[in-house]
DNA sequence: CGGGACTTTGAGCAAATTCAACCATTGTGG
DNA sequence: CCACAATGGTTGAATTTGCTCAAAGTCCCG
């Protein structure tokens, strides 16, 4: 199955030269504890280290394309990645944004189900799929971790369906912001000011809206005092009650007041 | 986290009496080959048989509710199940419909992420989660199968996001019908007449539309000769080219002319 | 035969889109 | 160093798709 792509693939990041790219040893990795590698001990980590190479991408570069053979799995080390699917006429749905420690490349039937592109300059760990699968035989808890990750993604996907199918434009935008804030909080990063590395266009394609509508929602919510921003890529949630109300959360608390979730 | 539910739980199916419900031995199961149990051999199947009980549900009965402790996993043996999530004000998004051989109950953090209800009279195999997980330790290929199932569901979820976010009402309805037809074909069931056990209301909540719009789409598509039906629960696809066009498939072939997918 | 649930159809309405213009920021070349 | 093109964001007016409200038709089952 071939997908229609206006853009050529000349910007495709060449595979890092095998064995030639020195990579930060996994033991020193900043995102390890949060990511799939967190379940591995010293010796296992060493084995894992053997089959990884680093990939660097600049904004707009693709990690892989929908329907490509799924030869690699990835872990984001730095930057933001967007995943999307296209209709034949070019309409785009961004199924998610990935951040450091997120896992990427679970595939159905050896083909990627979506395209992955860098939003901001990004660094990824790239694992050879075959060799990683071989490693799974040896480390069953790694496989268990993968299943856990897949379950989590499934749950997020269902949340996103609820958003796309049943929420209003304002609710969609507010839910999106709330989710990003919560994600930052979970990773012990500042959650008061939300960083939005992606464009309004990207946000629109993620929420099933148009750029114009997204922009209008932002200004409307700002006028109402729910959010605040000067830079369109840095937004603060001001009225947490109203935010939770719009996002469809039944607890109206700022993320840093929550006990656990 | 407690969800708002107008309906009480008086219709909840009582757990089948443990050990008391005789069940068709797995070896004789009609959906085994298609389902998760398909990877098990004779001895393994026997072990699996030990931890399963049968559940029967009549239309509208719940298998479990969102946020319930995820104590069981299920395989559908007969009937149709709808999965959904609710917003606080009652808006509903049906994330999927399940059919015989489908697997149910992958949970995040020990809680179900959605409610599961019978659409038509249904029969399910119910597995104790703890005991099944223990079995996974012994049968790693079973865990691999679960991961495969999760990957497939993830891919379907992404397709559904594309549908919800970017397709028109007609396209949504046609995509839905096409998918059901393809699913029937894959299971070697008649794919020329699509069985729709669910109501227009259910379809609407699955496609992010209202009943009225769904109904209008059906009549419009019938007038255009794309589909045909007398009974609203039995629909035939007549114009496969136009169907593929609307559904966003790039091959305009009837499912029974496809080589493989 | 009658009641209830589901489906269909119609008319008016509203949320979001489309089309268009304008503004702000950034990077480039003269 | 500044003009200016390019990109991304915002705002406005007109349009449209799908929704809401309302009513009528259909089917099933007691």
The pLDDT-based confidence of B24 (bands split at 50, 70, 90) is: low
Highest mean pLDDT (candidates A22-26, B5-9, B42-46): B42-46
Report the 10 Å Cβ neighbour count for A208.
24
Q: Within 179-218 of chain A, which residues have Cβ less than 7 Å from strand D?
A: 199-201, 211-212, 214-216, 218
Decide: B81 and B151 in contact? Cβ < 8 Å: no
Q: What is the pLDDT of residues B99-150, one digit of tens each?
A: 999 999 988 789 999 999 999 999 999 999 999 999 988 888 899 999 999 9
* Biggest distance spanned by C-alpha atoms of chain A: 57
Render pLDDT for B191-206 as a digit per residue (tens, 0 to 9): 889 999 999 999 999 9
Does residue B216 register a pLDDT over 90? Answer: yes
Contact yes or no for B164/B208 (Cβ under 8 A)? yes
Distance CA B192, CA B170 (A): 20
CA distances from residue B48 to B35, B73, B128, B134 in whole angstroms, order as listed: 13, 12, 10, 11
pLDDT band at B45 (very low <50, low <70, confident <90, very high): confident
- Closest chain B residue to A144, measured at CA: B143
Long-range contact pairs involving A13-17 (C-beta distance under 8 Å, separation at least 24):
A13/A55, A13/A56, A13/A57, A13/A61, A13/A62, A13/A63, A15/A53, A15/A55, A15/A126, A16/A53, A16/A54, A16/A55, A16/A126, A17/A53
The predicted-structure confidence for B70-99, as pLDDT tens digits, reads as follows 999 999 999 999 999 999 999 999 999 999
Distance (Å, whole) CA A24 – CA A46: 12
% of chain B surpassing 90 pLDDT: 68
Q: Give the chain B residue nearest A89 (alpha carbons).
A: B248
As a whole number, the mean pLDDT across chain B is: 87
Spatial CB neighbours of B104, under 8 Å, sequence gap ≥ 6 = B63, B73, B74, B75, B76, B81, B83, B98, B116, B124
What distance in Å separates residue B62's CA from the closest CA in chain A? 19
Whole-angstrom Cα Rg for chain A: 19
Asked if A108 is an interface residue toward chain B (Cβ–Cβ < 8 A), one would say yes
Taken as a whole, chain B contains a residue count of 261
Residue B180: CA count within 13 A, CB half-sphere: 23
Q: A211: which nucleotide lies closest, measuring CA to C1'?
A: D9
Calpha distance A112→A65 (Å, rounded): 7
Please give the average per-residue pLDDT across B241-246, as a whole number. 95
Token reading at A20: 């030639």
Dihedral sign for Cα atoms in the order A164, B95, A148, B112: positive
CB contact under 8 Å between B4 and A250, yes or no, is yes
Q: What are the strands of the beta sheet with A62-64, ordered from one edge?
A: A62-64, A115-118, A81-86, A92-98
| Residue B165 touches chain A, beta carbons under 8 Å | yes
Query: In this predicted structure, what is the pLDDT of residue A255?
Result: 55
> Strand D nucleotides below 7 A of a protein CB?
8-13, 17-22
CA distance B252 to B179: 14
C-alpha–C-alpha distance, residues A38 and A51, integer Å: 16
CA distance A28 to B64: 44
Burial of B174 (0-12, 13-18, 19+ CB in 10 A): buried
CA-wise closest residue to B55 among B104, B124, B105, B119: B124
**Residue stretches of chain A with pLDDT short of 70:** 1-24, 251-261
pLDDT band at B251 (very low <50, low <70, confident <90, very high): low
Burial (CB < 10 A; 0-12, 13-18, 19+), residue A113, is buried
Residue B101 confidence (pLDDT)? 94
Rounded to an integer, the average pLDDT of B160-182 is 98
For residue B195, say whether its CB is under 7 Å from any atom of strand D: no
Are A248 and A175 in contact by the 8 Å Cβ rule? The answer is yes
Q: Which of residues 6-25 of A touch B (CB under 8 A)?
A: none
Distance in Å from D2's C1' to A202's CA comes to 33
Q: What is the mean predicted confidence (pLDDT) over B176-205?
A: 95
């Amino acid at each position: 199955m071939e997908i229609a792509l206006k853009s050529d693939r000349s910007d495709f990041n060449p595979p890092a030269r095998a064995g030639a790219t020195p990579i930060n040893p996994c033991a020193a990795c900043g995102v390890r504890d949060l990511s799939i590698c967190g379940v591995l001990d010293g010796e296992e980590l060493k084995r894992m280290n053997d089959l990884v190479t680093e990939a660097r991408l600049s904004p707009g570069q693709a990690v892989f394309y929908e329907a490509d053979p799924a030869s690699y799995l990835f872990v984001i080390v730095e930057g933001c990645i967007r995943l999307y699917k296209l209709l034949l006429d070019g309409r785009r749905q961004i199924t998610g944004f990935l951040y450091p420690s997120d896992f990427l490349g679970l595939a159905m039937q050896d083909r990627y189900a979506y395209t992955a592109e860098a939003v901001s300059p990004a660094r990824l760990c790239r694992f050879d799929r075959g060799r990683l699968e071989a490693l799974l035989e040896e480390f069953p808890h790694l496989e268990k971790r993968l299943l856990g990750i897949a379950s989590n993604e499934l749950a997020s996907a269902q949340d996103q369906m609820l958003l796309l199918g049943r929420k209003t434009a304002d609710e969609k935008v507010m839910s999106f912001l709330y989710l990003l804030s919560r994600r930052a909080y979970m990773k012990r990063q500042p959650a008061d000011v939300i960083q939005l590395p992606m464009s309004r266009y990207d946000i629109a394609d993620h929420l099933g809206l148009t750029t114009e509508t997204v922009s209008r929602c932002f200004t409307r919510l700002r006028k109402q005092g729910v959010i605040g921003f000067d830079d369109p890529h840095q937004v603060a949630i001001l009225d947490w009650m109203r935010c939770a109300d719009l996002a469809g959360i039944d607890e109206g608390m700022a993320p840093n007041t929550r006990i656990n979730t």
